[in-house]
Amino acid sequence: MTISVGDKLPETTFVTMTENGPEQVQSKDYFAGKKVALFSVPGAFTPTCSAKHLPGYVEKEADLKAKGIDEIACTAVNDAFVMGAWGKAGGADGKVTMLADGNGTFAEAIGLTMDGSKFGLGTRGQRFSMVVNDGVVEQLNVEGPGEFRVSAADYMIEQL
């Protein structure tokens, strides 16, 4: 079952890269008491994700916060080391929290996986964005295969 607007996010564990190494983050704790702009990419360092998706949220951080977003987060079915390196390479430090979903547990729990096998990626999370308020989905934008439009930072800003 795919998550919908009004649903509470499932409890799962992400991993973030910190100066002390990888640290687990419980979804219920991370999303509690704040409004989060969360976006998902099929893979760190992949073309659209690196050229458009992450840079859009990095560049539009102030605009999103001006619209009531407390925090911006990116998730992908990649390990914390890759997500940490990609965040640094993309200028996300201090602007976008990189939430590694290394085993795809979160993507699977919300019903938004995709089969990237023909690209050598295996099962990944779909490209999407959502606004999560205190753990509840307020806005959900899922891209069609190969598309990049409704999960972009500019689109989210227009919807807020």
> How buried is 32 (Cβ within 10 angstroms: 0-12 exposed, 13-18 middle, 19+ buried)?
exposed
- Does the active-site annotation cover 49? yes
Residue 154's beta-bridge partner residues?
Answer: none
CA-CA distances (angstroms) from residue 12 to 16, 113, 138, 158?
Answer: 13, 15, 19, 29
Q: Which of 49, 58, 72, 96 is catalytic?
A: 49
Q: Please state whether beta strands 35-40 and 71-76 pair in parallel, antiparallel, or not at all (unpaired).
A: parallel
CB atoms within 10 A of CB 66: 11
Q: Which of 96, 102, 93, 95 is nearest to 43 (CA)?
A: 102
CB 37, CB 67: distance < 8 Å: no
CB 108 within 8 A of CB 126: no
Catalytically active residues, by annotation:
49
